[in-house]
Structure 1
Amino acid sequence: MGKSPGAWTGMRKKRWPLMILLLFSLSTATVFFIRSAFDSCSISSSSEASIGRHFSEEKGTEITDTEVSKTAQSLKPNPLDFMKSKLVLLVSHELSLSGGPLLLMELAFLLRGVGAEVVWITNQKLTESDEVIYSLEHKMLNRGVEVFSAKGQKAIDTALKADLVVLNTAVAGKWLDAVLKENVPHVLPKVLWWIHEMRGHYFTLEYVKHLPFVAGAMIDSHTTAEYWKTRTQERLGIKMPDTYVVHLGNSKELMEVAEDHVAKRVLREHVQESLGVRNEDLLFALINSVSRGKGQDLFLHAFHESLQLIQEKKLQVPSLHAVIVGSDMNAQMKFETELRNFVLEKKIHDRVHFVNKTLAVAPYLASIDVLVQNSQAHGECFGRITIEAMAFQLPVLGTAAGGTMEIVVNGTTGLLHPVGKEGVTPLANNIVKLATHVEKRLTMGKKGYERVKERFLEHHMSERIAFVLKEVLRKANSHSHA
């Protein structure tokens, strides 16, 4: 039986509080990297690289997805249940809306969810009052995560007493000598080092000299892991510890919005109205902090070239629009001015829309037709926005570099193009290809969603992390009894 107009309106109104709550959640699943701390990452790798492998340089062993899955199945109902009552110290280099701290917060909440005692310390804390830090700290406190100073006896005592210490990002390594001092050797055997960075200046002994002696390193993609292994050996002469590759997963909240057709339609209408575009228009969006490393300039060149191709070939396609989500004139004035000047010079200002940085990316994922992941140099370490877009059944046009190649199956869930200027024309051709073949666009989006459901959900991530934590705790216990 069909719903009456009144009932339909009432149902939509009831959904709004839930949608607002979801969209403004500070979960990493609904936050894109506002800062450009992770602008460049890793070298290329096979897009079908298996997930959940454990590379042990000393033993040369690999633990496959099947074995990880079996381990997870034996830990029902929650793969992290064994962490109940364990004391975990999380050390972040900063507390901000960038990827590393937000992922560590996500781990904190997963551990709190199974009854672990979780303590958070931030090594580089701003002295002045900061609303973002205040908000994030209180979000943690409200979830039962204890937050205190990274310096002082309390931090040392907690590190010595903890069952597990997680250092988040290479920069967090500075905390070891600065605070623990002579206690460093006692803590290293129970340290899990979660690394996201790939830029050259992180490869310094000041940050990572203790890396060979920790229980393990956890890295977001195989490409990043290989890069760290090579660079640390060649540049610093040190050896990586046992390294675990853990692909990330979408949160349950993000998936709820992505799978709610009513919510998506309401969000799409709202955003399209705010941008001044029509429902039949095609939107290609790049959702990342605006910086040269994320490739907004090359994307706009490709977009302009695609409009020229459509005009030259007299193709019948809907009106194309480019959306740049992540604008911040204060942080990137020179680069963003360059972008805006290009748009004016090419007279495409009616086709290009700049959207300020925002915590809520879900409305834009619900509103666009294609995600462009154009990160340059070594590409993305992983690229959380990529799996978020795939959850919304969006095809992805990505650079053939870094973690993107482990997420996007070229020709099936999206299309890849080279980094740099040589990637502009291929990207332009791919834009035209998806603009002119609606069936290809929709099929790729559906295939991407299926891939997310198979490997990039929160429970997949929990299973992979659970396997790593069990290994690290086993090593820590064997060391303490040695």
Structure 2
Amino acid sequence: MAMQSKKCVLTIIALFALSTLILLFIRTSSDSCNTALLQLGHLEPSQTRTESSSEANSNPLQFMKSKLVLMVSHELSLSGGPLLLMELAFLLRAAGSDVVWTTIQRPPQTDDVVYALENKMLDRGVQVLDGKDEKGVDTACKADLVILNTAVAGKWLDAVLKEKVLEVLPKVLWWIHEMRGHYFKVEYVKHLPFVAGAMIDSYTTAEYWKNRTREKLRIKMPETYVVHLGNSKELMEVAEDSVAKRVLREHVRESLGVRNDDLLFAIINSVSRGKGQDLFLGAFYECLLLIKEKKLQVPSLHAVVVGSDMHAHTKLETELRQFVMEKKIQDRVHFVNKTLAVAPYLASIDVLVQNSQGRGECFGRITIEAMAFRLPVLGTTAGGTMEIVVNGTTGLLHPIGKAGVTPLAKNMMNLATHVEKRLTMGKKGYERVKERFLEPHMSQRIALVLKDVLRKG
């Protein structure tokens, strides 16, 4: 009986310990993953992991306390623009601002993503209005600051404000993320010259907008502020926690069916032509052929496409899967549905590929997130990527389009065969993030912008 009693006690202790570990893991991964795409920054990084009362009082956005801010987004989705605006809403709420959110284009039926994101905002104290609600007009007139998100949000000015437009324009900050030409329509941006200011995520994009609006639309940009994005404290905590990273790495790799010593190259963007998933898979296949031709001894290589849409069945999705079947590389290519929770995949891969085409990314948040996880980045020579990745130091750059497929394949082979280079680039990328791309960095930069806009308003 005594032996049985001891066994019973030991079993209970073991189960309790196991359940505690599981709960800690779930809480850590959930908190970090849900905010992994939503963080901003631009100030000298804090050296401490916990925030003291003096640090809280030194919040550069503290002057926004009790200010009423209306945020207008063209949509509410898992894409970059809405998520960035949401994160800014949370930063302002933390500083004591009254924040109201309105979405212009809402799906006619209940949407799980919209429902989840709206509830996330409500939980953080952000009031959510319907895009056509009359309260939006009243709020815009009373607000200390109105932030329009993306060029498309310009449609809201005439459609909703109507005769109140001229009253509101002097206190509008227009946050622009787009790089593609089809956003340059007069009906979108005709009021742009008259707002208090435009905020853009990279110098490359700011210059493009300045030239394009002048040459194509014959309008002049307002005062323009460039504010680089940054990583949140939550994401950095996961990236700097070796235990959390190991657990996430093992979990994701097991779910993908790859071994711990396999080498994973990943592209993490919503699947579209502009993000270059087709060219990425072409380069990956060419890399496999090069390694076989040269008879190189390397770990088993895998490609991970995070950002797929299992339900859309778009033409590009179909093409990607057909390519994988035709080349007989089904065991090496893995498709993952689009998700907010990118931290587990950053913890599980070895190299990030940022393959955005055309004019590239306006900035590319996923690039600095990957660098926080000490991952080298293989990026295109376009857009904001060139302002983040130091070629040959934190990663390697390649041209856009088909001309970039072979260089990307060679860069992939380069990192596959040189472990030390891969690790060194990852370390240098992490150091660059700590120097430039943290939430406090942007808090300071955006504080300067908001002070200027409030003064004008």
Q: AA paired with 1:379?
A: G
2:405 pairs, out of 416, 424, 435, with 424
State the shift of 1:13 in Å.
3.5
Q: Could you tell me which residue of structure 2 aligns to residue 367 of structure 1?
A: 348
Match 2:271 to one of 273, 290, 305 = 290
1:19 paired with 2:28, answer yes
Give me the TM-score of the superposition, normalised by structure 1. 0.86
- Please give the alpha-carbon distance, in whole angstroms, between the structure 2 residues aligned to 1:296 and 1:156: 42
Which residue number corresponds to residue 57 of structure 1?
A: none
SS in structure 2 at match of 1:415: strand
Counterpart position of 2:67: 86
Tell me by how many angstroms 1:441 deviates.
0.2
Between the aligned partners of 2:36 and 2:142, the Cα distance in structure 1 is 29
| CA–CA distance in structure 2, aligned partners of residues 454 and 404 of structure 1 | 17
- Is the 2:36–2:341 Cα contact (8 Å) retained in structure 1? no
Amino acid at match of 1:17: I
| SS of alignment partner, residue 130 of structure 2 | coil
* Equivalent-residue separation in structure 2 for 1:12 and 1:431 (angstroms): 37
2:328 corresponds to: 347
User: Paired residue for 1:450, among 412, 415, 431?
Assistant: 431
Partners in 2 of 1:17 and 1:351 — Cα distance?
29
**Structure 2: how far apart are the matches of 1:325 and 1:10?**
30
CA separation in 2, counterparts of 1:330 and 1:9? Answer: 36
* CA deviation profile, 1:75-117 (whole Å, cap 9, x unmatched): 9610000000111111111112211111111111100101111
Q: Aligned partner of 1:107: which letter?
A: L
Name the amino acid aligned to 1:241: P
Contact kept in structure 1, 2:174 and 2:197, CA below 8 Å: yes
Q: Which moved more, 1:140-149 or 1:187-196?
A: 140-149
2:69 and 2:97 in contact (8 A); partners too: yes
- Name the residue aligned to 1:55: none
- The 8 Å contact of residues 225 and 245 in structure 1, kept in 2 or not, is answered as yes
User: Is the CA contact (8 Å cut-off) linking 1:80 and 1:466 kept in structure 2?
Assistant: yes
In 1, are the aligned partners of 2:179 and 2:360 still within 8 Å (CA)? no
Whether the 8 Å contact between 1:101 and 1:168 is mirrored in structure 2 is yes
Gaps of at least 5 residues in structure 2 are 1-12, 45-53
Q: How far does the alpha carbon of each residue in 1:131-160 deviate from its partner, in whole angstroms, 9 at most, with x for none?
A: 222221121111111112333442222111
Using the TM superposition, name which of 259-268 and 342-351 deviates more: 342-351
Letter in 2 for 1:370: V
Q: Using the TM superposition, give the Cα deviation of residue 11 of structure 1 relative to its aligned residue in structure 2, in angstroms.
A: 7.3
Deviation at residue 23 of structure 1 after TM alignment: 4.3
After superposition, residues 325-344 of structure 1 pair within 5 angstroms as 325-344=306-325
Which letter maps to 2:31? L
Q: Are positions 1:239 and 2:248 aligned together? A: no
From 151, 170, 176, the equivalent of 1:170 is 151
Does structure 1 residue 112 correspond to structure 2 residue 121?
Answer: no
* Alignment partner, residue 320 of structure 1: 301
Q: Which region of structure 1 is more displaced relative to structure 2, 376-385 or 336-345?
A: 336-345
SS at match of 1:450: helix
- Tell me how far 1:165 sits from its aligned partner: 0.5
- Aligned-partner SS, 1:172: helix
Deviation at 1:349, TM superposition (A): 1.5
The Cα shift of 1:19 comes to 2.0
Q: Which residue of 2 aligns with 1:220?
A: 201
Deviation at 1:253, TM superposition (A): 1.2
**Equivalent in the alignment of 1:406:** 387
Deviation at 1:125, TM superposition (A): 2.0
Name the residue aligned to 1:275.
256
Aligned equivalents of 2:172 and 2:105: distance in 1? 19
Change (3 A) 1:8 1:413: farther
Q: Please, which moves more after superposition, 330-339 or 280-289?
A: 330-339
Q: 1:138 — aligned with what?
A: 119
SS of aligned partner of 2:359:
coil
Q: Compute the displacement of 1:12 (Å).
A: 4.1
Aligned equivalent of 1:415: 396
Aligned to 1:46: none
Matched position secondary structure for 1:28: coil
Asked if structure 1 preserves the Cα contact closer than 8 Å seen for 2:37 and 2:340, the reply is no
Q: CA deviation at 1:28?
A: 2.6
How far, CA to CA, are the matches of 1:179 and 1:300 in structure 2? 44
Report if the CA contact (8 A) 1:75-1:81 is conserved.
Answer: no
Tell me how far apart the structure 2 counterparts of residues 97 and 225 of structure 1 sit (CA, whole Å). Answer: 24
Gaps of 5+ in 1: 31-50, 53-64, 67-72, 477-482
- Name 1:124's counterpart in structure 2: 105
Q: Distance in 1 between matches of 2:68 and 2:313?
A: 41
Contact kept? 1:27, 1:102, Cα under 8 Å: no
After superposition, where does 1:2-41 map in structure 2 within 5 Å? 12-13=21-22, 15-26=24-35, 28-29=37-38
Q: Distance in 1 between matches of 2:17 and 2:286?
A: 43
State the alpha-carbon separation in 2 of the partners of residues 424 and 27 from structure 1.
29
Q: Which moved more, 1:343-352 or 1:370-379?
A: 343-352
Relative to structure 1, the CA distance from residue 166 to residue 29 in structure 2 (aligned partners, 3 Å threshold; closer, same or farther) is: closer
Provide the secondary structure at the position in 1 that maps to 2:264.
Answer: strand
Cα distance per residue 1:179-236 (max 9 Å; x no partner): 1111111111110000011221110110000000000000011111111101100000
Does structure 2 conserve the Cα–Cα contact (< 8 Å) formed by 1:323 and 1:353? yes
Maintained 8 Å contact 1:288/1:294:
yes
Question: Per-residue deviation at 1:416?
Answer: 0.2
Residue 418 of structure 2 is matched in structure 1 by: 437
- Name the Cα RMSD after superposition: 2.2
Name the TM-score, length of structure 2 as normaliser. Answer: 0.91
Q: Which residue of 2 aligns with 1:379?
A: 360
Deviates more, 1:245-254 or 1:336-345: 336-345
Question: Which letter maps to 1:18?
Answer: R
2:51 corresponding residue in structure 1? none
**Helix, strand or coil for the counterpart of 1:148?**
strand
The CA deviation at 1:333 is 2.6
Q: Which amino acid aligns with 2:199?
A: M
* Compared CA separation, residues 188 and 368, structure 1 to 2 (3 A): same
Q: Deviations over 1:234-263 (max 9, x none)?
A: 000000000000111111111111111001
- Partner of 2:184 in structure 1? 203
Matched, 1:160 2:141: yes
- Are the aligned partners of 2:268 and 2:366 in contact in 1 as well (CA < 8 Å)? yes
